Amino acid sequence: MRIKLINPNTTRRMTDAMGRCAREVAAPGTEVIAVNPTMGPPSIEGYYDEALATPGLLAEVAAGERDGYDGYVIACFGDPGLYAARELARGPVIGIAEAAMHAASVLAPGFSVVTTLARTCGMAWHLAERYGMKRFCRNVRATDVAVLELDKPGSAARRLILDECRRALDEDGAEAIVLGCAGMVELCAELEDALGAPVIEGVTAAVKWTEALVALRLATAKRGDYARPLAKRYDGALASFSPGGPEPVAEPLGGLVAEQGY
Amino acid sequence: MRIKLINPNTTRRMTDAMGRCAREVAAPGTEVIAVNPTMGPPSIEGYYDEALATPGLLAEVAAGERDGYDGYVIACFGDPGLYAARELARGPVIGIAEAAMHAASVLAPGFSVVTTLARTCGMAWHLAERYGMKRFCRNVRATDVAVLELDKPGSAARRLILDECRRALDEDGAEAIVLGCAGMVELCAELEDALGAPVIEGVTAAVKWTEALVALRLATAKRGDYARPLAKRYDGALASFSPGGPEPVAEPLGGLVAEQGY
Amino acid sequence: MRIKLINPNTTRRMTDAMGRCAREVAAPGTEVIAVNPTMGPPSIEGYYDEALATPGLLAEVAAGERDGYDGYVIACFGDPGLYAARELARGPVIGIAEAAMHAASVLAPGFSVVTTLARTCGMAWHLAERYGMKRFCRNVRATDVAVLELDKPGSAARRLILDECRRALDEDGAEAIVLGCAGMVELCAELEDALGAPVIEGVTAAVKWTEALVALRLATAKRGDYARPLAKRYDGALASFSPGGPEPVAEPLGGLVAEQGY
Amino acid sequence: MRIKLINPNTTRRMTDAMGRCAREVAAPGTEVIAVNPTMGPPSIEGYYDEALATPGLLAEVAAGERDGYDGYVIACFGDPGLYAARELARGPVIGIAEAAMHAASVLAPGFSVVTTLARTCGMAWHLAERYGMKRFCRNVRATDVAVLELDKPGSAARRLILDECRRALDEDGAEAIVLGCAGMVELCAELEDALGAPVIEGVTAAVKWTEALVALRLATAKRGDYARPLAKRYDGALASFSPGGPEPVAEPLGGLVAEQGY
Amino acid sequence: MRIKLINPNTTRRMTDAMGRCAREVAAPGTEVIAVNPTMGPPSIEGYYDEALATPGLLAEVAAGERDGYDGYVIACFGDPGLYAARELARGPVIGIAEAAMHAASVLAPGFSVVTTLARTCGMAWHLAERYGMKRFCRNVRATDVAVLELDKPGSAARRLILDECRRALDEDGAEAIVLGCAGMVELCAELEDALGAPVIEGVTAAVKWTEALVALRLATAKRGDYARPLAKRYDGALASFSPGGPEPVAEPLGGLVAEQGY
Amino acid sequence: MRIKLINPNTTRRMTDAMGRCAREVAAPGTEVIAVNPTMGPPSIEGYYDEALATPGLLAEVAAGERDGYDGYVIACFGDPGLYAARELARGPVIGIAEAAMHAASVLAPGFSVVTTLARTCGMAWHLAERYGMKRFCRNVRATDVAVLELDKPGSAARRLILDECRRALDEDGAEAIVLGCAGMVELCAELEDALGAPVIEGVTAAVKWTEALVALRLATAKRGDYARPLAKRYDGALASFSPGGPEPVAEPLGGLVAEQGY
């Protein structure tokens, strides 16, 4: 099977790290291709960033449908564009916050999310509610580390994150940690060793969850909200995103994307 | 005061109808300017449409900030881009679903939403939850009328909507009706007369709610989630949307929008 | 339009302050008349006070109906008698807690209520739940200032309230403040300046919310719970409160009130 | 022990029926005195009725404290004035809706409430929520029987109520019935026989629940919300209700009540 | 009436203490027989202990049905086997957590649970939710006292528990305390004296609540979930637990238990 | 990796069917061993059955730990003994209701559960709540098919289940179906073909979810509620279940099980 892992920001080195980690956990026979859009924000740290990351993400899903992918992972902890992506895709589309919270909820009575900037904590709480995971979520904690600091050599980020995880276990009574940023994908094992408690990282969790659903031959429901977008002609600069009806959003978008040097 | 009413779809005649209705209810001294983006979907009937309507909407908010507007109304019942818009704006930003539900909740023990397509009912339920209005929402009912049918002469749309409103009162035990589509703005008085129950329409409700907040000198909180977007350089086709930091998203976006014949 | 602002306690100088503040924010053409009953508690600081403030409040609503008012504001943060008042009134009836919480919820991701006595915090939580606003309410904080201390010259009340607001922002992560007592109406601007965050005061918010609903020609639903009280003859000392059926509670109450030197 | 059972409406024959039923279930050594105020509504069928029944009810609680009662039952399904009464009383104060719902929740997975008028269904839902019983409450069903019809000879009320109970079991999947009006106290056994399912009636349930708490030497908490009302001087026609501080609301109220031929 | 009080652990001296306390509060004419199984864990401090305490508990309920008991109390704060026991019993079956939380919720605006080991706090939260009592539960606090330490002479347990109760009142804003372990049954009066706030102990509360329901001639609903177990033949070592259909689980179980030296 | 799939009832042919289906979806390198206890109920159709299935299930988990299994699936839709099993196991333990609901929630906006007997619907609702999945669960529907009828040749069971699934899609507005009984494992593909909507079956879903977590090297949290059972000596017939402390529940239980011809 082929899973398309989409990092919705434009930072290639984060995409590459995610791809490496994803491939390490994939089962034999599962191919994971990690991509990112070339348009939009280099990091997603608020609702505005998220809104502008979504068109690029959706273009990748539309392209993925043309290329026959079996499932998709949206690799940003805000799970941007998740429902819109489900409208486009035949196979499963999983957000990394969704997968990580599901995993944490079956391994521990409760978890805390440790994320980057305080301004994204509200988002994480909203996702926890939306996915039914609020009852398991003891706290959402910010480290005030910027997303792009995470993999800089010599950065204090790792220390700050480890300390915050410790506080989550001690002060929140959390029994597991969910890492609240796709950029933390490579810290997972190191943190788990240091903490002696499950540390769940969403990119790998979502890859495995997607792989499982594809193996079960399960697909996105096409009744109701996730039905294919109604065919219509979009206007202006976004005309190439026009959904084509029964067929996937295909030729127009392909043309458009090309036109944008995409 | 000046309020910018943004219809996030590109259908000008809907925008005009909203503007007319808004100006009828505005207080002396309140100027309401109704606009719509020139890029994106002509109607919003799902998550994908919503995601692609959002960039155009946000460009209008950014432009509004440069022009010194006091507040904004997002005039589509899915309230697309609401939180992102709040990051951009100094003054209040109100969604029409939000305003209509608030109004209904103070006038009646419970309300039902009557909307267009069944596939948007889930959205309305999610908004009701997000705004704390689920406890007042007895049902969300679809009429299977497409948004752009609503104002076509000779369409059966009005009859279908009236019938569905009647069922809402009789079968759901609703005491009031919330109209679940900005395209229904001109049907409100007619329905209220026929039903003998409050019929709340979000465009006018949101204009008055925004006007009230501006008169109270209240603005969007700039601590936490709705703080201005962090300054960063977006890539590719969306570079002109790059947020500029302490200053509003301004010159770059202006340039970009021009370049798109906007 | 004419809005009747009812302070349900008997302290005239609080009523006057509310009236002044309300008139400052009212739109041209809106007349706000501030009144208070002459029977009942001089301040409302618990459920018992609230229960005994309600008859006087309802008499004022009944009188207001005879006098043709377009809408009502109940100006005590416990929103006493709100549902009973809605049974009496044709037009909208808004409680100040309700209006303040609605306003806060559209301006900020979350708010804390800062109120007077600790024993009223439970009430505020109950209202937050009843209005669907619990999800936005980060905390309810008491200052241990008695209601009637609030406007005494030289009182430490202002300092205590400002300090508690600061703690709400810092410790609760609130992004806005809701003032939890009608007696704080004149502190609002001063606090907002000092805090740099939205401070929402219910009396003015409710006046504007009521004005907005009246301008929208919206009225209280008369199906279901808020239907006019059933006509019946009350006994004993409360006979003059007997509801008169299809007509508003009118002559009998007028007579009665006179008889009580009201 | 002595329990004061207060019917908050002024209809003596309902009070007498409640007293009879209560005495049948009381343990040896428990004296139940059933009273009703002489002022206020003869039946409670809405929020306005409830608000005007509350002063008379509270006068009875205050008098009960002077007379040394050990506990109180508020015998109207809306549980009017419950929290205010708890401020006045040393011993337990139980509402009949509260007791009936608690009992139903330990006997059956879920219950439906069968009540009189449709306009009171909303109240029952609010109480279910307030008491945490919403999760057990499958439905609230009205019979459109007026309270005072319930004990009229030859009335069709019994048949209507039985039919509605049957529908509750069949259509709601309820496993037990809660009778939603104190006036139904004498129908309980008859309905249970006919239905073969538990039928819980609140007056008797509340008497036993109060008796149990008194036997356990448990009293109303006097920290927080249910602390005694703060001493203050009420104005005008309600001056005799002024709470007297550390001592129970006593002499003034006694005088006042006398003055009203109470 | 005869109530069977079942301590689900095998520690006889705890059973005896519960029996003593129960008999002190029982009404004249109520006989309380306290028993415990002879198989299973001597104390219940986790889900595994609870699962293995349940067969012995259910054998006691089945025996109780043969002996004609009118009601049952499950005397362990986790309320193990409660729903299974309700399937077996005709009369009411009450758990001590359930009874204690109900009682606390009518006496105080909120309570905190003070229990033994931290690992059982999650259980208490789950019960609070299941019974609808989460809204009243301010906190669940552990003392790290092992169950069997509670009645050891010279143990520091009492002091630790008293201190934790004090913190619950001061830090949680609780107005009442619920003791979260049946082993605390004899500490109740002493704690209440020291704290000046209601301290609710579940064993005695459940005995009175059961007694009340039996006096009201109320029984467990036999429609739906609590219907008698379907008749079937169990296999292997548990064959004697086979439910016998319309008749109570009777002879087989009796035989079996004997066979186990029970 | 080796996953132990435990059917908690004693019906071997159901276990075998589950094993076949599980092996079909397992990844290369995953060995799934399907077992069932030899003691306890042959089918689980209520709380009593569930309580008596749990000891046998836990014995299998304890044996699995001695044998070095990497993870466990509890293959009965009531997820009996789930939390107790987590106390025993090092690796993940997943219930089939849990896995099926998680899967459904990422594939569709909402699902309905179609199960066997009406008396188990309440259980499914409780699980949905416990796992945070209530918000996705549109309905739980019974077919009144007994568990052991499901695989009888010529039984009408398949037809009844298909019809109920159709009603779930049409009447509940569900977009996906969750099969509410492990005995339905072989009907999944057939139903999905007939319905054209995702049909999620828990046994296979749980196997894949467990496999995914093991591949991610995630284990059950051993802080808090799921810590290993405290070492203690159980009494009487259950002595062999005594937990042994730091080491897994081992020798004693092994001995005991042998003694039972297990």
The answer to whether C143 touches C177, Cβ cutoff 8 Å, is: no
Residues of F in contact with A108 (CB under 8 A): 220-221, 223-224, 226
Same domain, residue pair E114 and E178: yes
- Overall average pLDDT of the B107-121 stretch: 95
Distances (CA, A) of C92 to B106, B218, C68, D48, E132: 8, 23, 13, 16, 34
Question: Percentage of chain F with pLDDT > 90?
Answer: 82
3-state secondary structure of B241: helix
Residue D164 confidence (pLDDT) above 80: yes
Together in a domain, A79 and A155? no
ipTM of the assembly? 0.93
Q: Do D225 and E131 touch (CB under 8 A)?
A: no
% of chain B at pLDDT higher than 90:
82
Segment A163-182 mean pLDDT: 96
DSSP one-letter code for F150 = T
Least confident among C105-114, F118-127, F143-152: F143-152
Interface check for E60 against chain F (CB to CB < 8 A): the answer is no
Of the listed ranges A205-214, B196-205, C102-111, E237-246, the one predicted with least confidence: E237-246
Is C180 found in the same domain as C151? yes
The distance of E252 to chain D (nearest Cα, Å) reads: 27
pLDDT tens digits along A30-65: 999 999 999 999 999 999 999 999 999 999 999 999
Chain B: closest CA distance from residue C172 (Å) = 12
CB contact under 8 A, C216 and B136: no
pLDDT single digits (tens) E7-40: 999 999 999 999 999 999 999 999 999 999 999 9
For F207, nearest residue in chain A (alpha carbons): A212
Which chain D residue's Cα is nearest to E109? D225
pLDDT of residue C149: 80
C110 shares a domain with C39: no
Most confident segment among B11-15, E152-156, E255-259, F141-145 = B11-15
Q: Looking at the structure, do residues A128 and A212 belong to the same domain, yes or no?
A: no
**The pLDDT of residue D149:** 80
Tokens, residue C160: 């205590």
Q: Is-contact D189 D209, C-beta < 8 A?
A: no
Q: Please tell me whether residues E63 and E13 are part of one structural domain.
A: yes
| Contact call for B55 and A58, based on CB within 8 A | no
Interface touch A236/B46, C-beta < 8 Å: no
State whether E214 and E86 are in the same domain: yes
Mean pLDDT in residue range E143-157: 79
Contacts of B81 in chain A (CB under 8 A): 51
pLDDT, mean of residues D228-255:
73
**Which chain D residues are Cβ-neighbours of C235 within 8 angstroms?**
10, 38-42
Q: Please name the residues in contact with F247: beta carbons below 8 A apart, sequence gap of 6 or more.
A: none
Contact of E209 with chain D, judged by CB distance below 8 Å, is answered with: yes
Return the residue in D235, D257, D259 with the most chain C beta carbons within 10 A, the one to mutate for interface testing: D235
Q: Which of B193-197, D49-53, E244-248 has the lowest mean pLDDT?
A: E244-248
Set of chain D residues whose Cβ sits within 8 Å of the Cβ of C37: 236
Mark yes or no for CB contact A92/F105 under 8 Å: no
Which of B158, B180, B201 is the C-terminal boundary of a domain?
B201
Distance separating alpha carbons of residues B82 and B248, to the nearest angstrom: 17
pLDDT at F16: 96
Domain that holds residue E81: 2-96+207-259
Check CB contact under 8 Å for E232 and F41: yes
Helical residues (DSSP H) of E108-201, grouped into ranges: 121-130, 157-171, 188-195
Chain C environment of D250 (Cβ under 8 Å): none
The residue of B48, B87, B249, B259 whose CB has the most chain A CBs within 10 angstroms, and thus the best one to mutate to test that interface, is B48
Amino acid at B54: T
- Judge: D235–C84 Cβ closer than 8 Å, yes or no: no
Residue B248 — pLDDT band, cuts 50, 70, 90?
very low
Nearest to B84 among A45, A47, A241 (CB): A47
Q: Is residue A260 predicted with pLDDT exceeding 50?
A: no
- pLDDT > 70: percent of chain F: 93
Indicate the pLDDT class of residue C254, thresholds 50, 70 and 90: very low
Alpha helices by DSSP H, chain C = 12-25, 47-66, 82-88, 96-107, 121-130, 157-171, 188-195, 202-215, 251-259
Q: How confident is residue C66, by pLDDT bands cut at 50, 70 and 90? A: very high
Q: Evaluate if residue F157 carries a pLDDT over 70.
A: yes
- Asked if C195 reaches chain B (Cβ–Cβ under 8 Å), the answer is no
Q: Does the pLDDT of residue A154 top 80, yes or no?
A: no
Amino acid at E166: R
Inform me whether the C-beta atom of residue E70 falls under 8 Å from chain D C-beta atoms. no
- Sequence-separated (6 or more) residues with CB below 8 Å from residue E88: E58, E61, E62, E65, E228, E229, E248, E249, F48
| Contacts with D28 from chain E: Cβ below 8 Å | 27-29
pLDDT in tens, E170-195: 999 999 999 998 888 888 889 999 99
Query: What confidence score (pLDDT) does residue A147 get?
Result: 74
Mean pLDDT, residues E89-106: 98
CA distance A86 to chain B (A): 9
B172, B185, B216: best to mutate for the C interface, most C CBs within 10 A:
B216
The pLDDT assigned to B245 comes to 52
Cβ contact A216–F226 (<8 Å): no
In this predicted structure, the answer to whether residue E115 has a pLDDT above a threshold of 70 is yes
Task: State whether A234 and B40 contact (CB < 8 Å).
Answer: yes
Q: How confident is the model at residue D152 (pLDDT cuts 50, 70, 90)?
A: confident
Alpha carbon of B106: minimum distance to chain A alpha carbons (Å): 25
Q: Same domain, yes or no, for B16 and B86?
A: yes
* Paired sense of beta strands E2-6 and F71-74, if any: unpaired
**What pLDDT does residue C245 have?**
52
pLDDT band at residue A182 using 50, 70 and 90 as cut-offs: confident
pLDDT at D150: 78
Q: How far apart are CA D225 and CA B125, in angstroms?
A: 35
E71-74 and E31-35 strand pairing: unpaired
Residue E126 and residue F130: Cβ atoms within 8 Å? yes
- Considering only CB atoms, C235 lies closest to which of D10, D55, D225, namely D10
Q: Does C173 touch chain D (CB under 8 A)?
A: no
CA-based nearest distance E211→chain F, Å: 24
Per-residue pLDDT for E252 more than 80? Answer: no
pLDDT band at E150 (very low <50, low <70, confident <90, very high): confident
Q: What is the mean pLDDT of residues A158-166?
A: 94
Mutate to test the interface with D, among C57, C58, C235, C242 (most CBs of D within 10 A): C235
- Other Cβ atoms less than 10 A from the Cβ of E260: the count is 16
CA distances from C214 to B209, C65, C72, C210, C217 (A): 12, 15, 10, 6, 5
In tens, the pLDDT along F103-115 reads 999 999 999 999 9
Top residue of E74, E147, E235 to mutate, by most chain F CBs within 10 Å, is E235
Find chain E residues with C-beta within 8 A of F87's C-beta. Answer: 46-48
User: F73 and F130, same structural domain?
Assistant: no
SS3 E216: coil
Interface size between C and D, measured as CB pairs under 8 A: 155
- Say how many domains are in chain C: 2
In angstroms, the CA B56 to CA B241 distance is 10
Q: What is the CATH number of the domain that holds F51?
A: 3.40.50.12500
Q: D125 — contact with chain C (CB < 8 Å)?
A: no
Site of tokens 């799970």: A79
Chain B nearest C-alpha distance from A23 (Å): 27
Cα–Cα distance list, A102 to A106, A111, B63, B81, F72 (Å): 7, 11, 41, 27, 17
From C201, C219, C243, give the residue that closes a domain. Answer: C201
Task: Establish if D223 touches chain C: CB-CB under 8 angstroms.
Answer: no
Handedness of CA B241, B246, B250, B251 (dihedral sign): negative
End-of-domain residue from the set A156, A176, A201? A201
Q: Cβ separation of C229 and D84 shorter than 8 Å?
A: no
Mean pLDDT for all residues in chain E: 91
Residue F259 lies in a domain: no
pLDDT band with cut points at 50, 70 and 90 for residue E219: very high
- Residue E86 touches partner F, C-beta closer than 8 Å: yes
Residues paired with residue D139 on neighbouring β-strands, in sequence order: D112
CA distance F125 to chain A (A): 14
Domain identity same for E120 and E189: yes
- The whole-number pLDDT of residue C251 equals 37
Query: Would you call B249 helix, strand, or coil by DSSP?
Result: coil
Same domain, yes or no, for E92 and E213?
yes
Give the pLDDT confidence score for residue A150 in this predicted structure: 78
- Per-residue pLDDT of E49-66, as tens digits, reads 999 999 999 999 999 999
**F151 & F178 share domain:** yes
Q: What is the pLDDT of residues A216-232, one digit of tens each?
A: 999 999 999 999 999 99
Contacts of residues B231-235 at CB distance under 8 Å and 24 or more positions apart, as own/partner, are B232/A41, B232/A42, B232/A43, B232/A49, B233/A42, B234/A10, B234/A39, B234/A40, B234/A41, B234/A42, B234/A52, B235/A10, B235/A38, B235/A39, B235/A40, B235/A41, B235/A42
Kindly report the average pLDDT of chain C as a whole number.
Answer: 91
CA distance linking residue D26 with residue F140, whole number of Å = 41
